[in-house]
Each structure stands twice: as C-alpha cells, then as structure tokens.
Chains A and B, each alone.
Chain A
Amino acid sequence: MTQKNPQVLYNSQNRQELLKTALEYARSPLQEDQDVLLRFLRTEGFLTRLDSPQDYQQMEPRHLRLARIIKALMDNGSQAAQRTLLALTQSPTFTEDEGRVELLIEALVVIRPAPPEAIRFWDQYSQPDCPEVHMVMDALADNGSEPAISLFEKKMTTPGFEPEELVAWMRDPVLRHRNDPLMLKACQRLLVGGLPEEIRADLVEALCDYRPDHWYAADLKPQPPPRSSATKEARDLLRAICNYALEHVTLSPRQRAAVEAALKELDLLDGRK
C-alpha cells in the first residue's frame, strides 16, 4: 500500500509513483488531504511531472494519468472531494489546458444538485462556438438536477447555436434522459415556446421514436432508456407532450405515427385500453 507522503508529490519524477500517491489523497475523505492534493493540482510543475506535454498532445484527456485522479475524486463521494473539484474550476493553471477543462466538465456531473460554481463553469464553456459545448450539454443532462436542467433548457433557446446542433442534443442527451421528469418538463416548456418552430417536431420525435441508423453517424449510438422504466410522473408528462404535439406541432406522417405508438405504449404501461 502506497503511503500518503506529500514529499512524493513535491519531488518525485516517477510518474507511476506520483499517480499512486496522488490517488491516495484523492480517495481520502479528509479535508486536510484534499487540501494537499488541491495545492498540487493547481501547479503546472506537478501536472507536467504526472503527464508529459507529449501525453497532452497525443492522448485523449481521459487517458492521462491525471484522469485517474479526477475519477478518484468523482468516486470519492465526500464533500471534501467535491470541494476539490469545484475549486479546480477556479484555478487558472488547471483550466489553462482544454483537455483538463474537459475532464472537469465531466467530473462535475457527480455533484448533485449542481452548485452555482459548477453551473457557472458549465455556462462558461457552453457559449456558441465553444468546442466543449457538446460535452457540457451531455454533462448537464447527466447531472439532471434542477439547476443543470435549467441551464440545459436555457442553452436550447440561446441564439447562436445552429438548428442542427439543437437537433443533435435532442437525439443524444435528451433521448438518453427522456424518462427523467425534469427533462420532460423542460421539453414541455421548450415545445410550447422558446424552441424554433421548425425543430419542434424533432424534439417530439426524439422523445417518442428511435432511429439510430438515420440519426447517428458515429458508431457509439446513444441508447434511450426503456419506456417501461419511466415513472408514473414521467409517463404522464410524456403523454401530455404527445397530446400537445398531435394538436399543435407540425408532424410528418412518420413522426405522427411515432407519437401515436408512444401513446399506445403508455396506455399499455398504465393499464389503459
């Protein structure tokens, strides 16, 4: 078992030793241990001893050694570890590298409800033309707390995003969370107003249908949750969305059929004939 020795974090040039020691601190629920770790995570010297500049250039951020430490903080569950993650959002050194920003965007998902620091950080990196915006939209939906879904909804109506980007979010983060009541409520509001009219049918479609071959170019295709796992609240919300869509949204025959099929599915689940 590696010991928690801060001298290793100060001096060691051995990347594996550094990683193992830093992991000890990252796993600790104690605030004083987290304080030690945070001090090092804010220094360029430690970060480049852990992963070389070449590693940063060549590898997915998730494959850096640093990613193991961030993952350990995510899995820690203690408030002290969560404070470390939130403090990193304020560190100019840590956030100087976009790869590290990406790690943080994903790491903050585990803090629920999302605190204001996390919301500010996500908001900063989800402006139009921010390359991280797609990661942020995934993170917001995955977090799923009220502040996060509220920001998600706001982004869906923020000028500057292309309609194709909005549709892609409907078919990924929205689709993956289409059983979540908070997400469904946000979709309900977006349908009634806020969302450009020409893509409202796409939102309805993402809630009711699943066409992986047509919707996704990448091989890793987002998967919707089974409808049968939706709660009664979620089912009622979806039913209301479907009924609204049939009345007020211009649907193609295929989309209309998908909405009607979803209603039938809900009827079956609710024991209606």
Chain B
Amino acid sequence: MPVLRIRVSFLEVYVLDDADAWGTGEWFMRATVDGRNVGDPEHEFEAREHRTFQLEPRERWTCDVDVSAKGPGDTVLVTFRGTERDPVGSDEDLGEVRMLLRHPFRQEVDHWYQSSIVDGKRHYNVRIAVTIVEEHATTSLAGFDDLRVSRGHASATTFTATTAGTAVTPRVEICPVIPVPEWRRLPPRPAFPPTVASGTDTPEAARVPPAAGRPWNALPNPAVIPIISPTDPEFENKAARIAVTHYIPRNLDLSYLFWRVASGPVRLSGPTTGTTVVKAYGTGSGASDEEALIELRWRDASGPLLGTYRAWVGRVKRIHYRANIVSGPTNNSRVTNVTPDDVAMHIDCCKMYFWQAGIELVPDDAANGTWDGAVPVPGRPGIFTIRLTAHAGWTRRVNLNVFPLPVTRLNFRPGVLNMVYVHSTRQRCAAAVDRPGLRALSAQPWAVTRGADDVLARLAGSPSTSWVQPSGYMGDGTPGEIQMLLIFESRRGTNASDRAYARTRTPHLTQNDWDRLYAFVVPSIWSSLPGSDPLFSYNVAHETGHVLGLRHRGNGGYPNNPPYPASYPLSNDEVNNPAVNGLVRHGHPFLENIMTYDVLLSQDFDLIQAMVIRSHPLANTAP
C-alpha cells in the first residue's frame, strides 16, 4: 500500500456575494473527516460578503487519516457544513461541501470548493487541502540511473523503471490555466502502478494573490509570449514564465528536464535544463500574432516528450486609460471608499492579469485634455477626480440599466478606456456599459457570425485553449475547433442628452468620438470589501474584459441567485468542457478565468480570449 497516511486541512472560508442578504451573519462551521469531527463547531465567525475568514487554530481544523488498512473501493468522506445561527429565530443551513477521497488516495488537492445551493443560494467557498503525509513507494524514478528510455520501437516515449521493470511514463503538466483547476476538471491523468509515488503540484500552479508591485510576469503560463528585447531593463520581470504545474511521480528527478522551442518566433532565456520554470520571449516584428510551441523533454532534444506548451507570440499592445473618481455634491454622496491611491493600486494589480495577454495599461496624460471639472491627481497619472455640482444620481445608486449613462462620458477621451468609479450602483455591482467597436471584430479572420447579432471567435489547434477537452495534451484526444461567443456591441451619442453634451465639449464631439467611448462603472461601495483591498482589482480586470468583447466564462453570469436558466452551468461565452472525471458538462474553466465569477480565483485569460482582446480597436488604435 503506497499511501499510508493523508492529512485533510480546512483552511479558510470565502463568503460569497448574496444580493438578498441583509446584515452580517453569525456562522458556525462543522467539519468531519472519515467520520471524525474536526475543528470547533461552537466557534462563531462574523461573515461578511467578499471577505475571507480563517479556520484557526490550524491544527484544530486539520486531521490525519491512517489509510494503510484501506483497500480498493474504500473511501474517506470529508464534509464541511455551515450554519447561520439566529439568536432569536431558527438556524439557517448554509450548505455543505462533500468530498469523497478514493483509494489509493494519490490525489493531493489544495482548492476552493463551492458549497451546495440551499434554497436557491450558494453561500460560501471553502478551501480544503489534502496532502500525503506518508507514502511507501517501492519503484524509484529518482535518477537517470534508475530510469531509461525504451527505444524498442519507433517514436517510443516509454520510460522503464529498472527496479521493477514496469513501464512508467511520468506525467508532467504545463497547465495553461493559473491557478490550476482541480484535477477533476483537467484532462484525465493516466493511472500509475501503486508502487509509483504519487504526484505533486508545483508552486506555479497556485493562485497569485493580487498585490501592488508584483512583476509583470507574476502569472506563469501566459497566453501570450511578448516580443521584448533581452536588453530591456525589466526583461526578467517581463519575459513569459513557462512552468510545470504538476508532475507524477513526485520523486521524479527534475534535473533531467529539458526545455526547447519546437516552433514559432520564440527564444528561451536562462537555464533550460533541470528546471521546472523557463523564461521565454518573442522575437520578430510582431506584425501579426503567431503561434509558438515549447516542448519539455527528458534529458535533451532527442529525449522523450514530457509536455508541450502553446502560446501566442506578439508585440506588446497598449491600452490607454483614464480612471475618473466621481464624487457627489453632498457629503453623504461622496466617494469615500476609494482613494486615488486605491485606484492606482487596483490598476497596478491588473498589470499581471493583462500582461499574460501581452497587454499593458498605460495612463492617459492629462495634457491631452480634461473636461467636466476633472482634476488630475498629482503623482498619479491617468487618475482624475470629478466633483459633481448636481446630479447626485450620477454617482450614488447609478442605475446600470439606464442607457446611455451620462456619468461615463465625463472626462472621456475618444479611444481611451474610461474607468469610472462611482459611489454606488443600484445593482450593487460593476458593469461594462459602453462597448463600441465590437462589430468590427467580425472582420477578423478568426471570426464567424451567427444569425443577425452573434459574433464568435474560432480557434483550432493543440493543446486546446484552457485545455478544453479533448485537449490534445499528452494522450488526451484530438481537440476540435473551439468557438467563443463575444459580447454585444453598444452604441451611443444619438439621444438628446448625449447630443446636448457633445455641443458643450471643446472641441465638439462627433459620432466617431462617441463610437470610441469605451467605459465601465465600478461602485466604490462594493459589498463589504473596502476599496483598499487588492481583491477590488478583479472588478477592473473583469469589466475591462467585457469592454474588449468577452462574455462570462464558467460560472460567470450566474451568480448566486438561482433559478438558473436551463443552460446553467454552461459558459455564457459557450466555451465548455464535456462531462469528464465524474463531473457534469460545465463551463471551463469554472472558477479560474477572469471572466468567471470567483473573485479569489479569477486570474486567467486564455488563448482564444487573448486573440480577441488583442484584436480589439482599443488595443490597436492610438487615442
């Protein structure tokens, strides 16, 4: 029995958005592992939306399980249930997470799991880690001496462990989605003999918490490898980092890893052998984006193939932005939750999100003009404050379903992304309200139209975008063409209010100017999350994605307010996984894409999304 003991840790709880919630909640959490109670079911947690509470002390919420006596078919049941204890009325069930760990207990996890839906609501996500504490592996693949490549037939890529004589092909994954989704949502992993050690994630598989000052390339495995000069002073922080995310067995001798460029205008920089992470940069003119394939092999260029990584190579595209913080005419209507420093931090946090698509957000200079009483914030280029003298409703409880919204035209410059921070919105969320230019994308070579309104992007090739299955990755089936539905275009400038405004601007605005007003609205009062929290940056990245043409992916678009449409939980952008690994068909990735609805995990843009947003006029036309 190779795995002898596992450890289950309940780490933290993330309180989900609940549009119907009133007030804070007093939550109690109860956990069990293999029938044993874990944690403190009497501890009261104050639950506030979009906030996380830690399950501490850690040792109390951790449980080791001896699985040495378990055999084929045996399982370990892990449960986690929340209850809201009402001091006066009856308690409310907040839903449960159930995990069934199966023999031989070789899958380690560290993931966020969604609670079950209770009375039409999903209340929380809980982070649970399962680690292997003790394992007895009798087949060693620890070194080259213990491992040889079988060359018994053409194109053979089979490793044979000399100690046991069993044919073993190590599994090495270079997952394009970061953070890496739970293993059940990935292409099936091959079965290994029980005598082979289990696998492990690398640090690069994990979520990268947003924070100011992170390097451009903080997120590994980007969709785009940027064309940059190796003499760029920030080269180390800008070159794409291509990384192994998981490998089996965990005692694989990583010193034999060998990276090489298989195709495309890419070069590798720094060590290319004996490392799980390699740096890559694009070369050439970048007149148009090209595909590249990077290979990971065993020992050298002729060694067995362990994995491939597919990316676009292209020049860095720049999107100019203005962030306007709009305050109201009275003290109560003032934007108090977001400061210019907060906004600068949000944009800085977004740097890593957009760099993975080869896009840089660039502040628009105030010297290009200011309007509507906008005041540039000293030392914060691209950030302005606007104090309204009337129209408190342009910043407080802005109704996002009023179209066009007057507030998004304030201090806008055609061709510049207008990020509009208001006090609050009626819908208590952000929205990309001005999305012109999308119809033009239908002329792209990758585009196809459907009916009168729909524009879809198409992308074939292997491995597939986000490893949508079949992914083509190392034995997974040949991928088909992926199609992604784009969001609708919006147009404005024709109503009386916009027309009147156009005449007041110097110079007067033309329809062509209105057709280049790209804007989204962010409420400074967003749930219970303060503007100083880096998680707030998710709003900026997500809404910018909408402005650039993207719809919701995965669970996005169907927040915690069922009844869901019949199609739920398929992707709003129609990118879905088939039923695999015991899961029903669902949008993919379900939580980890920026266009999903998981503030914590939403970090990834994939190949097909990068293709679209890099084609958008905002990224290709100077303001």
Given the known A-B contacts A23-B88, A217-B401, are A63 and B559 also in contact in the complex, defined by CB atoms under 8 Å? no
Q: Indicate if the CB atoms of B333 and A131 lie closer than 8 Å.
A: yes
Does A214 lie at the interface of the complex (its beta carbon under 8 Å from any beta carbon of B)? yes
- Asked whether any CB of chain A lies closer than 8 Å to the CB of B275, the reply is no
Given known A-B contacts A23-B87, A57-B337, A63 and B431 have beta carbons under 8 A apart = no
Verify B46–A64 contact, CB threshold 8 A. no
Q: For A67, list chain B residues within 8 Å (CB).
A: 22-23
State the Cβ distance, B295 to closest chain A Cβ, in Å: 40
Query: Secondary structure at chain B's binding surface: helix, strand, loop or mixed?
Result: loop
Chain A interface size band reads 35 or more
Q: Which residues of A contact B108 (CB under 8 A)?
A: none
Q: Give B387 Cβ to nearest chain A Cβ, in Å.
A: 15
- With CB as the reference atom, state the residue of chain B lying closest to A128: B393
A163 within 8 A of B: yes
For the complex, give the distance between the alpha carbons of A167 and B403 in Å: 9
Min CB distance, B514 to chain A, in Å? 15
Residues of A within 8 A of B496 (CB): 163
What A residues does B19 contact at CB under 8 A? 220
Q: Does B65 contact A (CB under 8 A)?
A: no
Please tell me if A235 contacts chain B, counting CB pairs below 8 Å. no
One of B200-208, B226-234, B419-427, B474-482 at the interface: B419-427
| Contact of A62 with B21 in the complex, beta carbons under 8 Å | yes
Residue in A58, A66, A68 whose CB lies within 8 Å of B525: A58
| B333 & A219 in contact (Cβ 8 Å cutoff) | no
Q: Report chain A residues within 8 Å CB of B332.
A: 97-98
Residue from A23, A57, A171 in contact with B336 in the complex, judged by beta carbons closer than 8 Å: A57
Report the nearest B residue to A66, measured CB to CB.
B23
The answer on a CB contact under 8 Å between A134 and B426 is: yes
Q: Within residues 192 to 248 of chain B, which ones have a CB less than 8 A from any CB in chain A?
A: none
Instruction: With both chains docked as a complex, state the minimum distance between the C-beta of A111 and any C-beta of chain B, in angstroms.
Output: 17
Q: A133-B393, A218-B400 are in contact. Are A63 and B49 (CB under 8 A)?
A: yes
Taking the complex as formed, is B24 at the interface, i.e. its CB lies under 8 A from any CB of chain A? yes
Question: Distance (Å) between the CB of A242 and the closest chain B CB?
Answer: 24
Which residues of A from 180 to 231 have beta carbons under 8 Å from B?
A: 213-220, 222
Residue of B395, B428, B552 touching A60 (CB-CB under 8 A): B428
- Tell me the complex Cα distance, A67–B527, Å: 13
- Contact indicator B402/A168 (Cβ below 8 Å): yes
User: Is the Cβ of B23 less than 8 Å from the Cβ of A164?
Assistant: no
Q: Which of A64, A69, A217 contacts B400 (CB 8 A)?
A: A217
Q: Which residues of the other chain, A, contact B402 by a CB distance below 8 angstroms?
A: 162, 164-165, 167-168
List chain B residues, Cβ under 8 A from A216.
Answer: 400-401
Contact of B333 with A98 in the complex, beta carbons under 8 Å: yes
**Residue B414 lies at the interface, judged by CB distance under 8 Å to chain A:** no
Contact call A70/B559, Cβ cutoff below 8 A: no
Residues from chain B with a CB closer than 8 A to the CB of A222 are 401
- B residues 380-397 touching A (CB-CB < 8 Å): 390-393, 395-397
Q: Which residues of B contact A146 (CB under 8 A)?
A: none
Which B residue sits closest to A70, measured CB to CB? B22
Cβ-closest chain A residue relative to B328: A131
Contact between chains at B46 and A62 (CB < 8 Å): no
Bound: A72/B87 CA distance, A: 12
- Does B578 lie at the interface of the complex (its beta carbon under 8 Å from any beta carbon of A)? no
B 302-337 binary contact with A (CB < 8 Å = 1; else 0)? 000000000000000000000000001000110011
Given contact pairs A58-B525, A163-B495, A132 touches B397 in the complex (Cβ within 8 A): yes
Could you list 20 A-B pairs, sorted by A, with CB under 8 Å? A2-B88, A19-B87, A23-B87, A57-B336, A60-B525, A65-B24, A98-B396, A102-B397, A130-B393, A131-B397, A133-B393, A164-B402, A164-B404, A164-B495, A165-B402, A172-B401, A217-B400, A217-B403, A218-B401, A219-B556
* Given A68-B22, A218-B427, 15 other A-B residues pairs in contact with their CB atoms under 8 A: A1-B88, A19-B87, A24-B88, A58-B531, A59-B527, A62-B23, A71-B22, A97-B332, A129-B391, A131-B328, A135-B397, A168-B403, A171-B401, A217-B401, A217-B490
The 4 closest A-B pairs by CB, nearest first: A68-B23, A131-B396, A71-B22, A218-B427
